Amino acid sequence: MLEAKNIHFCIKNKPIVDQVNIQLNPGELTVLLGPNGAGKSTLFRLLSGELLCKHGAVKYNGLPISSLKPKELAHLRAVMPQHSTMTFPFKAIEVVELGLSLSNKKYPPNTVEEVMKATHTWHLKDQLFGDLSGGEKQRVQLARVLAQIWEINSFPRYLLLDEPTSSMDIAQQHHILQIMGQLKNRNIGILAILHDLNLAANYADNAVLLKNGSILKQGAIRDVMTPENLEKVFDYPIQVETEGPTAPIYISSLPSTKIRSQNYNFKFA
Amino acid sequence: MIQNLIYSKTQHQNLVLSVLSLGLLLLAVFSLTVGAYPISFPNAVAVLLNQVGLVLGTFTVQESNVLLQIRFPRILLAMLVGGGLGVSGAALQGLFRNPLVEPGLIGVSSGGALFAVIFIVFGASFPWLTNLFGNFSLPLFAFIGGLINVMLVYEMANYGGKTDISLLILAGVALTALSSALIGLAIFYADEAALRNFTFWSLGDVGGANWDKVKIAILLILAPSFWIMFQYRNLNALSLGENEAFHMGVDVQRVKYIVLFMSALVVGVGVSMTGTIGFVGLIVPHLIRLSFGADHRLVLPGAFLLGACLLNASDLLARTIVMPAELPIGIITAIIGSPFFIWLIINVKKIRT
């Protein structure tokens, strides 16, 4: 279990993450939702070990994160940041191989091929990473991150994704979230920051709503993603429709002029 | 199939490195025979074989002296210094995630030169230093100077895991200017003897090579260069960014210190022996990357071998163009390097993919 207890992080005495408790179970996909500036990325970086919190503790399978060496941590979790740039002319396949080269010397020889085929990037393998489109780069990065934890292992591991699908087309977005579903069977717990509420509602098991550095609500997806909670967290009316506990969830929001136009009359001087 | 692919990639890298090594060897043998005092190839080989106890062919005592006391150590020193500049250039570029980094440009060389001058001028006042470190005193002093500057530049140009290129260049310019000013100041206070020593050192280039210097260079340039080469996995990961490298299990801080420390050592020791030689550390890693890809497993040793070739070839030119006089080797590398640097600045957007 990946566990954060009472974590607190300040920048210039302003709390960015305030007394957050969060639990990530292996075999579950949890989404982290919230408006811009809610502290999602800071929380994400605290969980990945990139930042260390002054108060509270982050524990991986019961081990405090500060006691783990970078290499040990890399065996337990893989992280995909929002943007990664490559300085030198590496090929796509070389970028994916990076995910394997450090954590483990011996790995099944077809790992790279498997992850690249799973992310639909195998045909790009000999192209330079810098020449790829935004969505393609994102898929290659995801392949690299997956390679790090692809090998089946007995202990639970975690995958942290910061807006993994932000540059992808709709078909690729669904494809990537389906891969996440398969990863859950490998005893991997996944935490993803997502902006697309429909993707979040229909693929995730749990949701965490974050606002102003604190958790507004967390729990099973259908308990958390109600119109009331979503409106509270995003300060905007959001409709949630579903026909039953197993039926798909439709989340929509309408232009403000059509729902309460009187509140949003700009005066163009 | 993928196994095949990785296998053939490693094989390809080994092939490239073998070819470079062979080229370096041929160049070295060729350099042995050329110079103000020409020695025929069979005689040169005979002299070398004689050293390992094989008697084959004939040679004169003069040939043997020129070869063993002057030319051979000179060629070895040029190789070691050139290789060291190449590999430290490649490693620093990898660490700073920037293709414009060069030991000379970011102040490592000038820091080394400053401390070398300080030692030459004021070293006589501290005899215990020389007693303690002997022949190593000058190279060690130069290393400290290089280290101070590279740390300062790194701290100044780095924030949030990224290196700001304009800050980096400005920091390099500032530190180089300060170092030159302080070198001038040190010389102002130098006495006659120190001044003569300084003049010899600053004109030194590889012409001043002897076996003592070669031994120090093997210990303080070759050994740290190998250490840098073994960081190839970490530097590959770092080319994605410091955070990403940490996510993949790299102890970023440790790698940073190894590369900064070892590069300062390699460059500082080189500077203390041959004076400042520019551009080798800039050109060589690029030529390797452009030709054979960016994998540091190949780039680091490749840069060492090509740097050794380049400095050796430059030295060969320097001592043959105006024979029997010699040009300073820095002139040759600057004539080759400056246009390349300009080309690089113009094309940097294409290279930084």
B283-339 confidence digits (pLDDT tens) = 899 889 888 888 999 999 999 999 999 999 999 988 888 877 788 787 888 888 888
- Does A79 contact B247 at a Cβ distance shorter than 8 Å? yes
pLDDT digit string (tens) for chain A, length 269 residues: 898 888 888 888 888 888 889 999 999 999 999 999 888 999 999 999 988 887 888 999 999 998 999 988 998 999 999 888 887 889 999 999 998 877 656 677 788 899 999 999 999 989 999 889 999 999 999 999 999 988 888 899 999 999 999 889 999 999 999 999 989 988 999 999 998 999 999 999 999 999 998 999 999 999 999 999 999 999 999 999 888 888 888 998 888 765 555 555 555 55
Q: Tell me whether A95 touches chain B (CB under 8 Å).
A: yes
Tell me the chain B residues in contact with residue A85 when contact means C-beta distances shorter than 8 Å: 240-241
What is the value of pTM for the model shown? 0.86
Which CA distances in Å does A79 have to A46, A71, A116, B28, B218?
12, 13, 17, 48, 42
**Greater pLDDT, B135 or B274:** B274
70-89 in chain A: CB under 8 A from chain B: 70-75, 78-79, 81, 84-89
Amino acid at the residue A174: H
Q: Which residues of B235-246 are buried (b: 16+ CB within 10 A; e: fewer)?
A: bbbbbbbbbbbb
Q: How far apart are CA B187 and CA B118, in angstroms?
A: 9
* Residue reference for tokens 């210039």: A12
Q: What is the reported pLDDT for B224?
A: 94
CB atoms within 10 A of CB A4: 20
Q: How far apart are CA B118 and CA B181, in angstroms?
A: 12
- Does A87 contact B97 at a Cβ distance shorter than 8 Å? yes
Closest CA in chain B for residue A49: B247
- Does A93 contact B5 at a Cβ distance shorter than 8 Å? yes
- Does A89 contact B239 at a Cβ distance shorter than 8 Å? no
Cβ-proximal residues to A9 (8 Å cutoff; 6+ apart), any chain:
A15, A16, A17, A42, A46, A51, A53, A54
- pLDDT band of residue B353 (cuts 50, 70, 90) is very low
Q: How far apart are CA B48 and CA B17, in angstroms?
A: 25
Tell me the chain B residues in contact with residue A97 when contact means C-beta distances shorter than 8 Å: 6
Q: What is the reported pLDDT for A33?
A: 93
From A79, A84, A113, residue closest to B2, measured CB to CB: A113
Q: How far apart are CA B116 and CA B123, in angstroms?
A: 10
pLDDT above 50: residue B352: no
Check if the beta carbon of residue A55 is closer than 8 Å to that of residue A6.
yes
Q: What is the reported pLDDT for A262?
A: 52
- ipTM value of the model? 0.89
Q: How far apart are CA A17 and CA A15, in angstroms?
A: 6
Instruction: Locate the DSSP E strands across B53-207.
Output: 158-159, 162-163
Q: Tell me whether B97 touches chain A (CB under 8 Å).
A: yes
Q: How far apart are CA B179 and CA B115, in angstroms?
A: 9
Q: What is the reported pLDDT for A14?
A: 83
- Does A70 contact B3 at a Cβ distance shorter than 8 Å? no
Q: What is the reported pLDDT for A154?
A: 85
Q: Tell me whether A153 touches chain B (CB under 8 Å).
A: no
To the nearest whole number, what is the mean pLDDT of chain B?
Answer: 84
